Amino acid sequence: MLRNLKNQKGFTLIEVLVVVVIVAILAAFAVPRYLRHVEKSRSTEAQTALSTLRKTYDVYMQTNGTTDGFTLEMAQKEANLGESTRKNWKFEVVGNPPNKYIATSTQDFAGGEGKQVWYDVPEARFHGYGIDTWTNPETGGMENE
């Protein structure tokens, strides 16, 4: 008889609290991992564009023996970067021959303005947003890993 009474009244407060606590614990682990995944995915656009620019500079250097006179505007035109990529990222090339390629997000970028992704030629590695730097969901600031 007590069993039927419990089914009619629904869940007890303790049962509901246990479920809420379990969901909160799962969310505490899942949300930061998801946000890192999103940042990593968003940084891929910049990494692809920087790789394309780097290859464009490499071809120009192999053809002409130098990158003197080869401007970033010329490289971007030659690389044929898409409209959305140019809208989301501002590019910079450091050195002659280039030793660093930098992409900085614009206000149109979904992840926010001022995020940087760069390719370090001597290291042959990408760095920055979504690669070795993440947004802390609690503070909104960037953290290194």
Tell me how many domains the chain contains.
Answer: 1
Q: Is the torsion defined by CA of 27, 28, 29, 31 positive or negative?
A: positive
Q: Is the torsion defined by CA of 26, 31, 36, 37 positive or negative?
A: positive
For residue 103, what pLDDT is reported? 97
- Distance of CA 106 to CAs 67, 84, 113, 115, 122, Å? 27, 11, 5, 8, 27
For residue 144, what pLDDT is reported? 65
For residue 33, what pLDDT is reported? 81
For residue 3, what pLDDT is reported? 52
Spans of the chain below 50 pLDDT: 1-2, 4-6
For residue 71, what pLDDT is reported? 93
Cβ-contact 64, 46 below 8 angstroms: no
For residue 79, what pLDDT is reported? 93
Pairwise CA distance, residues 113 & 129, whole Å: 11
For residue 2, what pLDDT is reported? 47
Pairwise CA distance, residues 80 & 76, whole Å: 6
Residue 32, domain extent: 2-144
